[in-house]
Structure 1
Protein backbone atom coordinates (compact mmCIF):
# COMPACT_ATOMS: atom_id res chain seq x y z
CA UNK A 1 0.00 0.00 0.00
CA UNK A 2 1.38 3.40 -0.99
CA UNK A 3 1.41 6.19 1.55
CA UNK A 4 2.17 9.79 0.74
CA UNK A 5 4.85 11.25 2.97
CA UNK A 6 5.64 14.95 3.17
CA UNK A 7 8.69 16.52 4.84
CA UNK A 8 8.73 20.24 5.64
CA UNK A 9 11.52 22.27 7.20
CA UNK A 10 10.37 25.48 8.88
CA UNK A 11 11.46 28.05 11.45
CA UNK A 12 9.72 28.17 14.80
CA UNK A 13 10.04 31.49 16.57
CA UNK A 14 9.57 31.49 20.36
CA UNK A 15 6.85 33.66 21.84
CA UNK A 16 9.33 36.10 23.35
CA UNK A 17 11.40 36.38 20.15
CA UNK A 18 13.68 39.40 20.03
CA UNK A 19 16.32 39.00 17.33
CA UNK A 20 18.81 36.35 16.38
CA UNK A 21 18.77 32.81 15.09
CA UNK A 22 15.73 30.60 15.62
CA UNK A 23 15.55 26.77 15.59
CA UNK A 24 14.81 24.88 12.39
CA UNK A 25 12.07 22.27 12.82
CA UNK A 26 11.07 19.35 10.65
CA UNK A 27 7.44 18.29 10.17
CA UNK A 28 6.59 14.83 8.87
CA UNK A 29 3.08 14.48 7.45
CA UNK A 30 1.52 11.14 6.54
CA UNK A 31 -2.15 11.16 5.53
CA UNK A 32 -2.77 14.50 7.30
CA UNK A 33 -1.27 13.27 10.60
CA UNK A 34 1.77 15.23 11.76
CA UNK A 35 4.88 14.66 13.84
CA UNK A 36 7.54 17.28 14.34
CA UNK A 37 10.90 17.67 16.02
CA UNK A 38 13.84 20.04 16.02
CA UNK A 39 16.76 19.49 13.67
CA UNK A 40 19.28 20.88 16.13
CA UNK A 41 20.24 23.70 13.76
CA UNK A 42 19.42 27.40 13.82
CA UNK A 43 18.98 30.11 11.18
CA UNK A 44 18.38 33.84 10.93
CA UNK A 45 14.78 34.41 9.79
CA UNK A 46 15.93 36.89 7.12
CA UNK A 47 18.11 34.19 5.50
CA UNK A 48 15.43 31.47 5.42
CA UNK A 49 13.78 30.47 2.13
CA UNK A 50 10.42 29.04 3.19
CA UNK A 51 9.53 27.71 -0.26
CA UNK A 52 12.74 25.70 -0.63
CA UNK A 53 12.97 24.91 3.08
CA UNK A 54 16.63 25.86 3.08
CA UNK A 55 18.95 28.68 4.12
CA UNK A 56 19.93 31.18 1.41
CA UNK A 57 23.50 32.26 0.96
CA UNK A 58 26.87 31.08 -0.31
CA UNK A 59 28.96 30.96 2.86
CA UNK A 60 30.44 27.71 4.12
CA UNK A 61 28.18 27.69 7.23
CA UNK A 62 25.09 28.03 5.04
CA UNK A 63 26.23 25.18 2.79
CA UNK A 64 26.89 23.06 5.86
CA UNK A 65 23.39 23.63 7.26
CA UNK A 66 21.77 22.92 3.88
CA UNK A 67 23.83 19.73 3.49
CA UNK A 68 22.77 18.64 6.97
CA UNK A 69 19.09 19.26 6.14
CA UNK A 70 19.43 17.31 2.89
CA UNK A 71 21.09 14.42 4.73
CA UNK A 72 18.35 14.48 7.38
CA UNK A 73 15.69 14.36 4.68
CA UNK A 74 17.38 11.36 3.06
CA UNK A 75 17.66 9.52 6.39
CA UNK A 76 13.94 10.01 7.01
CA UNK A 77 13.10 8.69 3.55
CA UNK A 78 15.34 5.69 4.26
CA UNK A 79 13.51 5.12 7.56
CA UNK A 80 10.21 5.24 5.65
CA UNK A 81 11.52 2.72 3.12
CA UNK A 82 12.68 0.39 5.92
CA UNK A 83 9.22 0.51 7.51
CA UNK A 84 7.62 -0.30 4.15
CA UNK A 85 10.01 -3.25 3.64
CA UNK A 86 9.15 -4.61 7.11
CA UNK A 87 5.43 -4.23 6.47
CA UNK A 88 5.01 -1.97 9.50
CA UNK A 89 2.23 0.54 9.97
CA UNK A 90 3.29 3.81 8.31
CA UNK A 91 2.46 6.90 10.36
CA UNK A 92 4.31 10.14 10.99
CA UNK A 93 5.13 8.99 14.53
CA UNK A 94 6.51 5.61 13.42
CA UNK A 95 8.79 7.29 10.87
CA UNK A 96 9.98 9.76 13.50
CA UNK A 97 10.56 6.97 16.03
CA UNK A 98 12.42 4.86 13.46
CA UNK A 99 14.73 7.78 12.66
CA UNK A 100 15.30 8.63 16.33
CA UNK A 101 15.87 4.98 17.24
CA UNK A 102 12.92 4.82 19.61
CA UNK A 103 11.28 1.43 19.57
CA UNK A 104 9.26 -0.89 21.71
CA UNK A 105 10.96 -1.67 24.99
CA UNK A 106 12.78 -4.99 24.89
CA UNK A 107 12.05 -7.34 27.77
CA UNK A 108 14.70 -9.79 28.91
CA UNK A 109 13.84 -13.43 29.49
CA UNK A 110 14.64 -13.33 33.21
CA UNK A 111 12.31 -10.37 33.80
CA UNK A 112 9.49 -12.16 31.93
CA UNK A 113 9.99 -15.29 34.05
CA UNK A 114 10.11 -13.27 37.28
CA UNK A 115 6.92 -11.44 36.29
CA UNK A 116 5.22 -14.77 35.52
CA UNK A 117 6.28 -16.24 38.87
CA UNK A 118 4.93 -13.20 40.74
CA UNK A 119 1.57 -13.53 39.01
CA UNK A 120 1.41 -17.26 39.81
CA UNK A 121 2.18 -16.54 43.49
CA UNK A 122 -0.66 -14.04 43.55
CA UNK A 123 -3.06 -16.62 42.08
CA UNK A 124 -2.07 -19.31 44.56
CA UNK A 125 -2.47 -17.04 47.54
Structure 2
Protein backbone atom coordinates (compact mmCIF):
# COMPACT_ATOMS: atom_id res chain seq x y z
CA UNK A 1 0.00 0.00 0.00
CA UNK A 2 1.42 3.38 -1.05
CA UNK A 3 1.77 6.40 1.21
CA UNK A 4 0.88 9.77 -0.30
CA UNK A 5 2.19 13.07 1.10
CA UNK A 6 0.60 16.30 -0.11
CA UNK A 7 1.20 19.92 0.91
CA UNK A 8 -1.70 22.33 0.56
CA UNK A 9 -2.47 25.92 1.50
CA UNK A 10 -5.09 26.78 4.11
CA UNK A 11 -6.24 29.96 2.37
CA UNK A 12 -9.19 30.58 4.70
CA UNK A 13 -6.64 31.20 7.47
CA UNK A 14 -4.63 33.85 5.61
CA UNK A 15 -3.18 36.30 8.15
CA UNK A 16 -2.95 40.10 8.10
CA UNK A 17 0.36 39.91 6.19
CA UNK A 18 -1.25 38.00 3.34
CA UNK A 19 0.45 34.74 4.30
CA UNK A 20 -1.44 31.50 4.67
CA UNK A 21 -0.38 28.31 6.50
CA UNK A 22 1.00 25.31 4.66
CA UNK A 23 -0.60 22.08 5.80
CA UNK A 24 0.52 18.51 5.21
CA UNK A 25 -1.92 15.75 4.31
CA UNK A 26 -0.87 12.10 4.66
CA UNK A 27 -3.01 9.52 2.88
CA UNK A 28 -2.64 5.81 3.52
CA UNK A 29 -5.10 2.97 2.97
CA UNK A 30 -7.72 5.52 1.82
CA UNK A 31 -7.53 7.33 5.17
CA UNK A 32 -6.20 10.86 5.68
CA UNK A 33 -4.35 12.70 8.41
CA UNK A 34 -3.79 16.42 8.08
CA UNK A 35 -1.61 18.69 10.23
CA UNK A 36 0.10 22.08 10.26
CA UNK A 37 3.72 22.35 9.10
CA UNK A 38 4.24 25.63 10.98
CA UNK A 39 5.23 27.32 7.70
CA UNK A 40 3.51 30.28 6.01
CA UNK A 41 3.66 31.51 2.42
CA UNK A 42 2.15 34.08 0.07
CA UNK A 43 -0.31 32.04 -2.06
CA UNK A 44 1.07 33.71 -5.21
CA UNK A 45 4.49 32.19 -4.47
CA UNK A 46 3.30 28.61 -4.03
CA UNK A 47 3.85 26.04 -6.79
CA UNK A 48 1.20 23.41 -6.10
CA UNK A 49 2.35 21.09 -8.89
CA UNK A 50 5.97 20.98 -7.75
CA UNK A 51 5.02 21.25 -4.06
CA UNK A 52 7.55 24.04 -3.59
CA UNK A 53 7.73 27.70 -2.67
CA UNK A 54 8.84 29.87 -5.60
CA UNK A 55 12.13 31.79 -5.29
CA UNK A 56 10.20 35.07 -5.10
CA UNK A 57 9.25 34.23 -1.51
CA UNK A 58 11.74 35.88 0.94
CA UNK A 59 12.17 32.67 2.97
CA UNK A 60 11.76 30.25 0.06
CA UNK A 61 14.92 28.24 0.76
CA UNK A 62 14.15 27.82 4.45
CA UNK A 63 10.50 26.84 3.90
CA UNK A 64 11.37 24.38 1.13
CA UNK A 65 14.04 22.89 3.36
CA UNK A 66 11.54 22.42 6.21
CA UNK A 67 8.96 20.84 3.90
CA UNK A 68 11.59 18.47 2.53
CA UNK A 69 12.62 17.54 6.07
CA UNK A 70 9.02 16.81 7.07
CA UNK A 71 8.53 14.61 4.03
CA UNK A 72 11.76 12.72 4.72
CA UNK A 73 10.77 12.08 8.34
CA UNK A 74 7.29 10.87 7.36
CA UNK A 75 8.76 8.47 4.79
CA UNK A 76 11.22 7.23 7.40
CA UNK A 77 8.38 6.62 9.86
CA UNK A 78 6.43 4.77 7.17
CA UNK A 79 9.42 2.59 6.33
CA UNK A 80 10.08 1.70 9.97
CA UNK A 81 6.43 0.70 10.45
CA UNK A 82 6.63 -1.49 7.35
CA UNK A 83 9.72 -3.23 8.71
CA UNK A 84 7.76 -4.25 11.81
CA UNK A 85 5.45 -6.25 9.52
CA UNK A 86 2.40 -5.33 11.59
CA UNK A 87 -0.85 -3.68 10.53
CA UNK A 88 -0.87 0.08 11.00
CA UNK A 89 -2.99 3.11 10.13
CA UNK A 90 -2.32 6.61 8.85
CA UNK A 91 -2.57 7.81 12.46
CA UNK A 92 0.20 5.40 13.39
CA UNK A 93 2.38 6.90 10.64
CA UNK A 94 1.69 10.38 11.97
CA UNK A 95 2.35 9.37 15.60
CA UNK A 96 5.59 7.64 14.62
CA UNK A 97 6.62 10.70 12.59
CA UNK A 98 6.03 13.02 15.56
CA UNK A 99 7.99 10.65 17.76
CA UNK A 100 8.44 13.15 20.57
CA UNK A 101 4.82 12.97 21.66
CA UNK A 102 3.87 10.56 24.40
CA UNK A 103 0.76 9.90 26.42
CA UNK A 104 2.60 9.15 29.67
CA UNK A 105 2.53 11.84 32.39
CA UNK A 106 5.84 13.59 33.02
CA UNK A 107 7.25 15.27 36.09
CA UNK A 108 10.03 17.60 34.98
CA UNK A 109 12.19 19.69 37.35
CA UNK A 110 12.59 23.30 36.24
CA UNK A 111 15.59 25.61 36.31
CA UNK A 112 15.42 28.72 38.57
CA UNK A 113 14.72 31.14 35.68
CA UNK A 114 11.77 29.06 34.49
CA UNK A 115 10.38 28.79 38.02
CA UNK A 116 10.62 32.57 38.42
CA UNK A 117 8.58 33.10 35.26
CA UNK A 118 5.96 30.57 36.37
CA UNK A 119 5.56 32.31 39.72
CA UNK A 120 4.91 35.63 37.99
CA UNK A 121 1.95 34.21 36.04
CA UNK A 122 0.59 31.75 38.60
CA UNK A 123 -3.03 32.57 39.44
CA UNK A 124 -4.49 29.19 40.31
CA UNK A 125 -6.39 26.80 38.06
CA UNK A 126 -5.23 23.80 36.06
CA UNK A 127 -2.87 25.73 33.77
CA UNK A 128 -0.38 28.54 34.34
CA UNK A 129 -0.53 29.88 30.78
CA UNK A 130 -3.39 30.18 28.31
CA UNK A 131 -3.44 27.11 26.07
CA UNK A 132 -2.76 28.01 22.43
CA UNK A 133 -1.86 26.09 19.30
CA UNK A 134 1.74 25.41 18.34
CA UNK A 135 1.17 27.46 15.19
CA UNK A 136 0.00 30.52 17.16
CA UNK A 137 2.88 30.10 19.62
CA UNK A 138 5.40 30.05 16.76
CA UNK A 139 3.88 33.21 15.27
CA UNK A 140 4.39 34.96 18.62
CA UNK A 141 8.01 33.81 18.68
CA UNK A 142 8.55 35.33 15.23
CA UNK A 143 7.14 38.66 16.44
CA UNK A 144 9.44 38.61 19.47
CA UNK A 145 12.43 37.81 17.26
CA UNK A 146 11.63 40.79 15.02
CA UNK A 147 11.23 43.13 18.01
CA UNK A 148 14.52 42.19 19.69
CA UNK A 149 16.46 41.81 16.44
CA UNK A 150 17.08 38.07 16.43
CA UNK A 151 17.79 36.98 12.86
CA UNK A 152 16.64 33.39 13.39
CA UNK A 153 13.47 31.48 12.64
CA UNK A 154 12.40 30.87 16.26
CA UNK A 155 10.02 27.95 16.82
CA UNK A 156 9.11 25.64 19.68
CA UNK A 157 11.06 22.92 17.87
CA UNK A 158 14.19 25.10 17.84
CA UNK A 159 13.66 25.77 21.55
CA UNK A 160 13.54 22.03 22.30
CA UNK A 161 16.65 21.36 20.22
CA UNK A 162 18.54 24.21 21.91
CA UNK A 163 17.51 23.03 25.39
CA UNK A 164 18.51 19.45 24.63
CA UNK A 165 21.87 20.29 23.08
CA UNK A 166 23.16 23.55 24.57
CA UNK A 167 21.61 23.29 28.04
CA UNK A 168 21.63 19.53 28.64
CA UNK A 169 24.08 17.55 26.52
CA UNK A 170 26.80 20.22 26.47
CA UNK A 171 26.58 20.28 30.26
CA UNK A 172 27.17 16.51 30.43
CA UNK A 173 23.58 15.51 31.26
CA UNK A 174 23.29 11.78 30.35
CA UNK A 175 21.37 10.85 27.20
CA UNK A 176 18.89 8.80 29.28
CA UNK A 177 17.89 11.89 31.28
CA UNK A 178 17.67 14.03 28.13
CA UNK A 179 15.32 11.46 26.62
CA UNK A 180 13.12 11.54 29.72
CA UNK A 181 13.03 15.35 29.91
CA UNK A 182 12.06 15.63 26.24
CA UNK A 183 9.29 13.09 26.71
CA UNK A 184 10.59 10.80 23.99
CA UNK A 185 8.84 7.44 23.78
CA UNK A 186 12.16 5.62 23.28
CA UNK A 187 15.89 6.21 23.68
CA UNK A 188 16.40 5.57 19.96
CA UNK A 189 14.49 8.74 19.06
CA UNK A 190 16.85 10.78 21.26
CA UNK A 191 19.95 9.06 19.89
CA UNK A 192 18.85 9.61 16.29
CA UNK A 193 18.10 13.28 16.96
CA UNK A 194 21.11 14.23 19.08
CA UNK A 195 23.79 11.65 18.28
CA UNK A 196 25.84 14.25 16.40
CA UNK A 197 26.00 16.44 19.50
CA UNK A 198 27.49 13.55 21.46
CA UNK A 199 29.98 12.83 18.67
CA UNK A 200 31.09 16.46 18.71
CA UNK A 201 31.59 16.33 22.48
CA UNK A 202 33.73 13.20 22.06
CA UNK A 203 35.85 14.97 19.43
CA UNK A 204 36.32 18.00 21.72
CA UNK A 205 37.28 15.73 24.62
CA UNK A 206 39.88 13.95 22.45
CA UNK A 207 41.33 17.29 21.33
CA UNK A 208 41.71 18.33 24.98
CA UNK A 209 43.51 15.04 25.72
CA UNK A 210 45.89 15.62 22.82
CA UNK A 211 46.73 19.06 24.13
CA UNK A 212 47.34 17.93 27.72
CA distance in 2, matches of 1:59, 1:5: 29
Rg larger in structure: 1
CA distance in 2, matches of 1:103, 1:47: 32
TM-score by length of 2: 0.44
Structure 2 partner of 1:7 = 5
Structure 1: state its 5+ residue gaps.
Answer: 108-125
**Aligned ranges 1:12-91 → 2 under 5 Å:** 12-14=10-12, 20-57=18-55, 61-91=59-89
Structure 2: state its 5+ residue gaps.
Answer: 106-212
CA distance in 2, matches of 1:16, 1:62: 18
For residue 17 of structure 1, report the CA deviation from its aligned partner.
6.7
Relative contact order, higher structure (CA 8 A, sep 6+): 1
Q: CA RMSD in A?
A: 2.5
State which drifts further: 15-24 or 75-84. 15-24
* Pair 4,60 (structure 1): closer, same or farther in 2 beyond 3 Å: same
State how many pairs are aligned.
105
TM-score by length of 1: 0.73
Report the secondary structure of 2:18's partner residue: coil
Structure with the higher helix share, 1 or 2: 2
Report the secondary structure of 1:77's partner residue: helix
For residue 85 of structure 1, report the CA deviation from its aligned partner.
1.2
